[in-house]
Structure 1
Amino acid sequence: MHIGRVTGATRNLGAPKGWDPTKDGICGGLPIRDEPHSPGVNKMVSAWLPTPEEIALIAAGAPIYLAVLGVSHPPVSMFVGNPPADPSLQPRDTTDV
């Protein structure tokens, strides 16, 4: 999967405190859009774009996995956004959702 640019991004998340790229791997920036979820609860939305190979696997019934580092699993959700109005005008790794 490639990181996409979420429409209306409000900030860019970087590596968490204590992240060691030599042990933990590369942790690039992740554009997110902050949205209110419910009173006092923030929701962070990011965009992920499957590669053509991943699209073929998904179409064949392969699952989409979500991996969360740590020992406590935060509430998460996954959903499908809308395709770009004209996909030929935007590269795959910067499509807004």
Structure 2
Amino acid sequence: MQIGMIEGHTRVCGKSQGFLGLPLRDELLNVEGIGPVNQMVSAWLPTPQELEALNAGAAVHVKIWGNVPAPMLVEVGEIPA
């Protein structure tokens, strides 16, 4: 997957640490029973080979460094104009 430029990004993380940099859009959610929660949204674009594999039924794997994952969602974004 290639890092995409998320629409309305509010910051880029990791670039100053030598990584490629991950554009993020911060959003504030009001979660029932919890209250306001920040979520960070990034965009990822499959390569042609990955898109072919996804269309053939391959799964999307999400890898998280460390031992305790934070709550997360994996969704499909809007079709580009």
Q: Which has more strand, going by share of residues?
A: 2
Distance in 1 (CA, whole Å) between partners of 2:19 and 2:66 is 15
- 2:50 equivalent in structure 1: 54
Deviating above 2 A after TM superposition, structure 1's stretches of 4 or more consecutive aligned residues are none
Q: Deviations over 1:3-43 (max 9, x none)?
A: 0000000000116xxx7xxxxxx632000000012233100
TM-score (norm 1): 0.73
- 1:63 corresponding residue in structure 2: 59
How far apart, in 2, do the equivalents of 1:37 and 1:75 lie?
13
Write 1 or 2 for the structure with the bigger share of helix.
Answer: 1
Q: State the match for 2:72 in structure 1.
A: 76
How far apart in 1 are the matches of 2:13 and 2:43? 13
Identity score, percent: 45
Question: Which whole-Å CA distance do the structure 2 matches of 1:12 and 1:80 have between them?
Answer: 21
SS of equivalent residue, structure 2 residue 49: helix
TM-score by length of 2: 0.86
Letter in 1 for 2:10: T
Structural RMSD (CA)? 1.8
Q: Distance in 2 between matches of 1:81 and 1:35?
A: 15
Instruction: Find the aligned partners of 1:43 and 1:62 in 2 and give their Cα distance.
Output: 27
- Secondary structure at the aligned position of 1:58 is classed as helix
